Homo-oligomer: A and B are copies of this chain.
Amino acid sequence: MTPLKPGSTIGIFGGGQLGRMLSQSAQKLGFKVHIYDPHTDTPAGRISNFKSAAPYEEMAAIARFAKDCDVITYEFENIPTITISAAQQFTPVHPNVKALQTAQDRLIEKTFLAQKADAPVIDFRKIDTVEDLHQAVSELGLPAILKTRRFGYDGKGQIKIDDIDEIPAAFKDLGGKNLILEAFAPFVREVSIVAARDHNGNVKCFPLTENVHKNHILHTSSSPTSDPQNVEETAKSIAHRVLDALDYVGVLAVEFFELDGGKLIVNEIAPRVHNSGHWTMDGDCADQFEQHIRAISGLELGDPKPKVSVIMTNLIGDEIEQIPAYQGKPNTHVHDYDKKEVREGRKMGHINVTKPLTDR
Protein backbone atom coordinates (compact mmCIF):
# COMPACT_ATOMS: atom_id res chain seq x y z
CA MET A 1 0.00 0.00 0.00
CA THR A 2 1.15 3.55 -0.71
CA PRO A 3 1.68 5.27 2.63
CA LEU A 4 -1.08 7.68 3.54
CA LYS A 5 -0.03 11.29 3.28
CA PRO A 6 -0.15 13.53 6.36
CA GLY A 7 -3.47 15.33 6.33
CA SER A 8 -5.29 12.11 5.41
CA THR A 9 -8.18 11.05 7.61
CA ILE A 10 -8.14 7.97 9.80
CA GLY A 11 -11.53 6.69 10.86
CA ILE A 12 -11.95 4.97 14.20
CA PHE A 13 -15.01 3.03 15.33
CA GLY A 14 -15.34 3.63 19.05
CA GLY A 15 -14.77 6.77 21.06
CA GLY A 16 -13.36 5.40 24.32
CA GLN A 17 -9.90 5.74 25.79
CA LEU A 18 -8.28 3.50 23.18
CA GLY A 19 -9.79 5.58 20.38
CA ARG A 20 -8.60 8.68 22.20
CA MET A 21 -5.00 7.53 22.50
CA LEU A 22 -5.05 6.30 18.89
CA SER A 23 -6.29 9.75 17.88
CA GLN A 24 -3.48 11.49 19.69
CA SER A 25 -0.89 9.34 17.95
CA ALA A 26 -2.53 9.82 14.58
CA GLN A 27 -2.60 13.58 15.07
CA LYS A 28 1.04 13.62 16.14
CA LEU A 29 1.85 11.99 12.80
CA GLY A 30 -0.10 14.71 11.00
CA PHE A 31 -3.25 12.74 10.28
CA LYS A 32 -6.81 13.85 10.88
CA VAL A 33 -9.14 11.63 12.86
CA HIS A 34 -12.83 10.89 12.45
CA ILE A 35 -14.49 9.11 15.40
CA TYR A 36 -17.64 7.05 14.89
CA ASP A 37 -19.49 6.21 18.09
CA PRO A 38 -23.14 5.85 19.03
CA HIS A 39 -22.65 8.47 21.75
CA THR A 40 -22.29 12.15 20.95
CA ASP A 41 -19.83 13.03 23.70
CA THR A 42 -16.93 10.61 24.03
CA PRO A 43 -13.32 10.78 25.26
CA ALA A 44 -12.01 10.32 21.71
CA GLY A 45 -14.69 12.34 19.95
CA ARG A 46 -13.89 15.37 22.05
CA ILE A 47 -10.36 15.60 20.68
CA SER A 48 -11.01 14.35 17.17
CA ASN A 49 -11.11 16.43 14.02
CA PHE A 50 -14.47 15.03 12.97
CA LYS A 51 -17.09 12.85 14.54
CA SER A 52 -20.17 10.89 13.61
CA ALA A 53 -22.66 9.95 16.30
CA ALA A 54 -24.86 7.12 15.04
CA PRO A 55 -25.65 3.51 15.87
CA TYR A 56 -23.30 0.80 14.62
CA GLU A 57 -26.18 -0.59 12.60
CA GLU A 58 -27.02 2.61 10.72
CA MET A 59 -25.76 1.78 7.25
CA ALA A 60 -26.24 5.23 5.73
CA ALA A 61 -24.22 6.85 8.49
CA ILE A 62 -21.50 4.22 8.16
CA ALA A 63 -21.32 4.86 4.42
CA ARG A 64 -20.99 8.62 4.93
CA PHE A 65 -18.32 8.07 7.57
CA ALA A 66 -16.37 5.59 5.46
CA LYS A 67 -16.39 7.84 2.40
CA ASP A 68 -14.86 10.59 4.52
CA CYS A 69 -11.95 8.41 5.68
CA ASP A 70 -8.80 7.17 3.96
CA VAL A 71 -8.44 4.15 6.20
CA ILE A 72 -10.55 2.84 9.09
CA THR A 73 -9.82 0.96 12.27
CA TYR A 74 -11.64 0.15 15.50
CA GLU A 75 -10.84 0.33 19.17
CA PHE A 76 -12.69 -2.73 20.44
CA GLU A 77 -13.51 -6.20 19.27
CA ASN A 78 -17.20 -6.19 20.09
CA ILE A 79 -18.14 -3.98 17.18
CA PRO A 80 -20.60 -5.82 14.90
CA THR A 81 -18.83 -7.41 11.93
CA ILE A 82 -21.67 -6.09 9.78
CA THR A 83 -20.48 -2.57 10.60
CA ILE A 84 -16.99 -3.37 9.36
CA SER A 85 -18.29 -5.12 6.26
CA ALA A 86 -20.40 -2.09 5.42
CA ALA A 87 -17.53 0.33 5.92
CA GLN A 88 -15.04 -1.61 3.84
CA GLN A 89 -17.25 -1.39 0.80
CA PHE A 90 -15.93 2.17 0.62
CA THR A 91 -12.65 2.26 2.51
CA PRO A 92 -10.05 -0.27 3.70
CA VAL A 93 -10.53 -1.42 7.29
CA HIS A 94 -7.71 -2.85 9.43
CA PRO A 95 -7.52 -5.18 11.25
CA ASN A 96 -9.56 -7.32 8.88
CA VAL A 97 -12.95 -8.91 9.50
CA LYS A 98 -11.40 -12.31 9.97
CA ALA A 99 -9.41 -11.06 12.95
CA LEU A 100 -12.52 -9.51 14.39
CA GLN A 101 -14.65 -12.62 13.92
CA THR A 102 -11.92 -14.76 15.43
CA ALA A 103 -11.51 -12.62 18.51
CA GLN A 104 -15.20 -12.09 19.07
CA ASP A 105 -15.96 -15.69 19.84
CA ARG A 106 -13.90 -17.70 22.33
CA LEU A 107 -14.71 -20.97 20.56
CA ILE A 108 -13.65 -19.73 17.15
CA GLU A 109 -10.63 -18.03 18.72
CA LYS A 110 -9.34 -21.11 20.50
CA THR A 111 -10.00 -23.34 17.51
CA PHE A 112 -8.15 -20.92 15.27
CA LEU A 113 -5.23 -20.61 17.66
CA ALA A 114 -4.80 -24.36 17.99
CA GLN A 115 -5.40 -25.28 14.38
CA LYS A 116 -4.13 -22.36 12.32
CA ALA A 117 -1.51 -20.62 14.44
CA ASP A 118 0.11 -23.57 16.18
CA ALA A 119 -0.54 -21.71 19.41
CA PRO A 120 -0.97 -23.59 22.69
CA VAL A 121 -4.40 -23.17 24.24
CA ILE A 122 -6.03 -24.62 27.29
CA ASP A 123 -8.34 -27.61 26.80
CA PHE A 124 -11.83 -26.41 25.98
CA ARG A 125 -15.25 -27.71 25.03
CA LYS A 126 -18.21 -26.18 23.23
CA ILE A 127 -21.21 -26.05 25.55
CA ASP A 128 -24.78 -25.73 24.34
CA THR A 129 -26.64 -27.91 26.81
CA VAL A 130 -26.28 -28.76 30.46
CA GLU A 131 -25.46 -32.29 29.32
CA ASP A 132 -22.56 -30.89 27.27
CA LEU A 133 -21.37 -29.21 30.42
CA HIS A 134 -21.52 -32.35 32.56
CA GLN A 135 -19.68 -34.28 29.89
CA ALA A 136 -17.05 -31.54 29.52
CA VAL A 137 -16.49 -31.35 33.26
CA SER A 138 -15.96 -35.09 33.38
CA GLU A 139 -13.34 -34.73 30.63
CA LEU A 140 -11.53 -31.56 31.73
CA GLY A 141 -11.86 -31.95 35.49
CA LEU A 142 -12.49 -29.29 38.09
CA PRO A 143 -11.94 -26.47 38.71
CA ALA A 144 -12.86 -25.25 35.25
CA ILE A 145 -14.10 -21.95 33.88
CA LEU A 146 -17.43 -21.63 32.14
CA LYS A 147 -17.56 -18.63 29.82
CA THR A 148 -19.88 -17.03 27.35
CA ARG A 149 -18.44 -17.35 23.88
CA ARG A 150 -19.02 -13.66 23.14
CA PHE A 151 -18.92 -10.23 24.82
CA GLY A 152 -16.90 -11.18 27.88
CA TYR A 153 -14.36 -8.75 29.28
CA ASP A 154 -12.76 -7.89 32.63
CA GLY A 155 -14.08 -11.11 34.16
CA LYS A 156 -17.62 -10.49 32.98
CA GLY A 157 -19.38 -13.48 31.40
CA GLN A 158 -17.44 -16.15 33.25
CA ILE A 159 -17.91 -18.36 36.28
CA LYS A 160 -15.40 -20.64 37.93
CA ILE A 161 -16.87 -24.05 38.69
CA ASP A 162 -15.23 -25.80 41.64
CA ASP A 163 -17.83 -28.48 42.31
CA ILE A 164 -20.22 -30.54 40.20
CA ASP A 165 -23.12 -29.17 42.25
CA GLU A 166 -22.47 -25.72 40.82
CA ILE A 167 -23.00 -26.82 37.22
CA PRO A 168 -26.74 -26.11 36.82
CA ALA A 169 -26.59 -22.63 38.36
CA ALA A 170 -23.48 -21.62 36.41
CA PHE A 171 -25.05 -22.85 33.17
CA LYS A 172 -28.21 -20.90 33.86
CA ASP A 173 -26.46 -17.73 35.04
CA LEU A 174 -24.53 -17.49 31.79
CA GLY A 175 -27.66 -17.79 29.68
CA GLY A 176 -27.65 -21.51 28.95
CA LYS A 177 -26.30 -21.36 25.40
CA ASN A 178 -23.28 -20.38 23.33
CA LEU A 179 -20.88 -21.21 26.13
CA ILE A 180 -17.42 -22.68 26.36
CA LEU A 181 -15.82 -24.61 29.18
CA GLU A 182 -12.11 -24.10 29.69
CA ALA A 183 -9.85 -26.22 31.85
CA PHE A 184 -8.25 -24.34 34.69
CA ALA A 185 -4.71 -23.17 33.96
CA PRO A 186 -2.57 -23.30 37.11
CA PHE A 187 -0.43 -20.39 35.99
CA VAL A 188 2.46 -18.83 37.87
CA ARG A 189 1.93 -15.49 36.20
CA GLU A 190 0.21 -13.72 33.34
CA VAL A 191 2.25 -12.14 30.57
CA SER A 192 1.45 -10.59 27.24
CA ILE A 193 3.00 -9.64 23.96
CA VAL A 194 1.80 -6.60 22.07
CA ALA A 195 2.92 -6.79 18.47
CA ALA A 196 2.41 -4.92 15.22
CA ARG A 197 2.33 -6.20 11.66
CA ASP A 198 2.48 -3.98 8.60
CA HIS A 199 1.12 -4.39 5.07
CA ASN A 200 4.30 -6.12 3.95
CA GLY A 201 4.17 -8.69 6.73
CA ASN A 202 6.90 -7.12 8.85
CA VAL A 203 6.30 -7.80 12.54
CA LYS A 204 7.66 -5.83 15.48
CA CYS A 205 6.99 -6.92 19.06
CA PHE A 206 7.21 -4.94 22.25
CA PRO A 207 9.05 -6.74 25.04
CA LEU A 208 7.37 -9.29 27.26
CA THR A 209 5.03 -7.60 29.72
CA GLU A 210 4.00 -9.01 33.08
CA ASN A 211 0.40 -8.34 34.05
CA VAL A 212 -1.24 -8.43 37.45
CA HIS A 213 -5.01 -8.44 37.69
CA LYS A 214 -7.16 -7.33 40.61
CA ASN A 215 -10.84 -8.31 40.66
CA HIS A 216 -10.42 -9.62 37.10
CA ILE A 217 -9.34 -6.18 35.88
CA LEU A 218 -5.80 -5.40 34.80
CA HIS A 219 -4.07 -3.66 37.69
CA THR A 220 -0.41 -3.32 36.68
CA SER A 221 1.72 -4.08 33.64
CA SER A 222 5.50 -4.09 33.91
CA SER A 223 8.07 -4.13 31.18
CA PRO A 224 10.73 -5.27 30.94
CA THR A 225 10.13 -8.04 33.41
CA SER A 226 12.37 -10.74 34.74
CA ASP A 227 12.07 -13.90 32.70
CA PRO A 228 13.38 -16.78 34.80
CA GLN A 229 11.76 -19.43 32.59
CA ASN A 230 12.95 -17.82 29.34
CA VAL A 231 9.53 -17.52 27.77
CA GLU A 232 9.95 -14.20 25.94
CA GLU A 233 11.14 -15.54 22.60
CA THR A 234 8.50 -18.28 22.58
CA ALA A 235 5.81 -15.71 23.34
CA LYS A 236 7.00 -13.50 20.50
CA SER A 237 7.06 -16.43 18.06
CA ILE A 238 3.50 -17.30 18.96
CA ALA A 239 2.39 -13.69 18.48
CA HIS A 240 4.17 -13.67 15.13
CA ARG A 241 2.36 -16.83 14.00
CA VAL A 242 -1.01 -15.45 15.10
CA LEU A 243 -0.43 -12.24 13.14
CA ASP A 244 0.63 -14.14 10.04
CA ALA A 245 -2.23 -16.60 10.25
CA LEU A 246 -4.72 -13.74 10.35
CA ASP A 247 -2.88 -11.80 7.61
CA TYR A 248 -3.17 -9.06 10.15
CA VAL A 249 -2.41 -5.35 9.77
CA GLY A 250 -2.16 -3.31 12.95
CA VAL A 251 -1.44 -3.96 16.61
CA LEU A 252 -2.62 -7.13 18.33
CA ALA A 253 -2.18 -8.33 21.88
CA VAL A 254 -1.70 -11.93 22.95
CA GLU A 255 -2.35 -12.71 26.60
CA PHE A 256 -0.62 -15.76 28.03
CA PHE A 257 -0.69 -17.87 31.12
CA GLU A 258 2.83 -18.86 32.08
CA LEU A 259 2.85 -22.24 33.77
CA ASP A 260 5.34 -23.67 36.22
CA GLY A 261 7.98 -25.28 34.01
CA GLY A 262 7.90 -22.52 31.41
CA LYS A 263 5.02 -23.64 29.22
CA LEU A 264 2.90 -20.83 27.78
CA ILE A 265 -0.84 -21.06 27.14
CA VAL A 266 -2.60 -18.41 25.08
CA ASN A 267 -5.48 -17.08 27.17
CA GLU A 268 -6.89 -14.75 24.54
CA ILE A 269 -6.01 -12.40 21.75
CA ALA A 270 -7.22 -8.83 21.28
CA PRO A 271 -7.30 -7.47 17.73
CA ARG A 272 -6.46 -3.96 18.83
CA VAL A 273 -4.25 -1.85 21.03
CA HIS A 274 -4.37 -3.26 24.53
CA ASN A 275 -4.31 -2.13 28.12
CA SER A 276 -1.17 -4.19 28.74
CA GLY A 277 0.57 -2.00 26.13
CA HIS A 278 -0.21 1.34 27.76
CA TRP A 279 3.23 1.36 29.37
CA THR A 280 4.72 1.85 25.90
CA MET A 281 3.45 5.45 25.89
CA ASP A 282 6.28 6.37 28.24
CA GLY A 283 8.84 3.81 27.15
CA ASP A 284 10.45 6.24 24.74
CA CYS A 285 9.75 4.03 21.80
CA ALA A 286 7.18 4.16 19.03
CA ASP A 287 4.28 3.28 21.34
CA GLN A 288 1.50 0.81 20.58
CA PHE A 289 -0.87 3.55 19.41
CA GLU A 290 1.68 4.97 17.02
CA GLN A 291 2.57 1.47 15.77
CA HIS A 292 -1.08 0.75 15.07
CA ILE A 293 -1.56 4.00 13.17
CA ARG A 294 1.68 3.42 11.27
CA ALA A 295 0.65 -0.11 10.32
CA ILE A 296 -2.83 0.73 9.07
CA SER A 297 -1.57 3.82 7.23
CA GLY A 298 1.07 1.96 5.28
CA LEU A 299 3.96 3.65 7.07
CA GLU A 300 6.94 1.65 8.19
CA LEU A 301 6.66 0.43 11.74
CA GLY A 302 8.57 2.43 14.34
CA ASP A 303 11.15 1.24 16.79
CA PRO A 304 9.45 -0.74 19.58
CA LYS A 305 12.53 -0.95 21.79
CA PRO A 306 11.97 0.90 25.06
CA LYS A 307 14.80 2.92 26.53
CA VAL A 308 13.44 2.81 30.07
CA SER A 309 11.65 0.41 32.34
CA VAL A 310 7.97 1.21 32.89
CA ILE A 311 5.31 0.06 35.33
CA MET A 312 1.75 0.95 34.40
CA THR A 313 -0.99 1.08 37.01
CA ASN A 314 -4.60 1.39 35.97
CA LEU A 315 -6.86 3.86 37.72
CA ILE A 316 -10.19 2.09 38.04
CA GLY A 317 -13.40 3.81 39.11
CA ASP A 318 -12.83 6.31 41.90
CA GLU A 319 -9.10 5.59 41.92
CA ILE A 320 -9.01 8.42 39.38
CA GLU A 321 -9.42 10.72 42.34
CA GLN A 322 -5.93 9.73 43.47
CA ILE A 323 -4.45 11.62 40.52
CA PRO A 324 -3.47 14.68 42.55
CA ALA A 325 -1.26 12.46 44.70
CA TYR A 326 0.64 11.36 41.58
CA GLN A 327 1.05 14.81 40.09
CA GLY A 328 4.57 16.04 40.49
CA LYS A 329 6.02 12.70 41.53
CA PRO A 330 9.29 12.10 39.76
CA ASN A 331 9.31 9.71 36.79
CA THR A 332 5.54 9.56 36.89
CA HIS A 333 3.35 10.12 33.86
CA VAL A 334 -0.36 10.64 34.40
CA HIS A 335 -2.88 9.73 31.70
CA ASP A 336 -6.49 10.75 32.32
CA TYR A 337 -9.11 9.64 29.80
CA ASP A 338 -11.49 12.52 30.56
CA LYS A 339 -14.44 10.23 31.12
CA LYS A 340 -17.60 12.03 32.07
CA GLU A 341 -18.67 9.77 34.85
CA VAL A 342 -16.84 7.68 37.42
CA ARG A 343 -18.27 4.15 37.51
CA GLU A 344 -17.20 1.13 39.49
CA GLY A 345 -14.82 -1.02 37.48
CA ARG A 346 -14.48 1.61 34.77
CA LYS A 347 -11.02 2.35 33.39
CA MET A 348 -10.58 6.06 34.03
CA GLY A 349 -6.87 6.61 33.49
CA HIS A 350 -3.46 5.16 34.13
CA ILE A 351 -0.11 6.04 35.62
CA ASN A 352 3.22 5.12 34.06
CA VAL A 353 6.26 5.17 36.32
CA THR A 354 9.62 4.94 34.59
CA LYS A 355 13.06 3.87 35.80
CA PRO A 356 16.38 3.60 34.03
CA LEU A 357 16.71 0.20 32.41
CA THR A 358 19.79 -0.62 34.42
CA ASP A 359 17.83 -0.46 37.69
CA ARG A 360 15.92 -3.61 37.07
Contact = CB atoms under 8 A, between A and B. Distances in A.
Interface residues of A, number: 49
Please state the number of chain copies in the assembly: 2
Contact of A354 (B282, B307, B330): B307
A6 B323 contact: yes
A298 to B, nearest CB: 10
Nearest to A306: B284
Given A330-B303, A354-B284, A46 B24 contact: no
A25 to B, nearest CB: 10
Interface in A286-312: 286, 294, 299-303, 305, 307-308
Contact of A286 (B6, B29, B305, B333): B333
Q: Taking each of A29, A282, A328, A332, which has the highest tally of chain B beta carbons within 10 Å of its own beta carbon?
A: A328
A30 B349 CA distance: 9
A48 B24 CA distance: 11
A71 to B, nearest CB: 15
Given A30-B349, A323-B6, A338-B7, A332 B47 contact: no
Given A328-B301, A331-B303, A46 B30 contact: no
A350 to B, nearest CB: 11
B49 A49 contact: no
A24 to B, nearest CB: 6
A327 B3 contact: yes
Contact of A335 (B28, B31, B330, B336): B28
A266 to B, nearest CB: 29
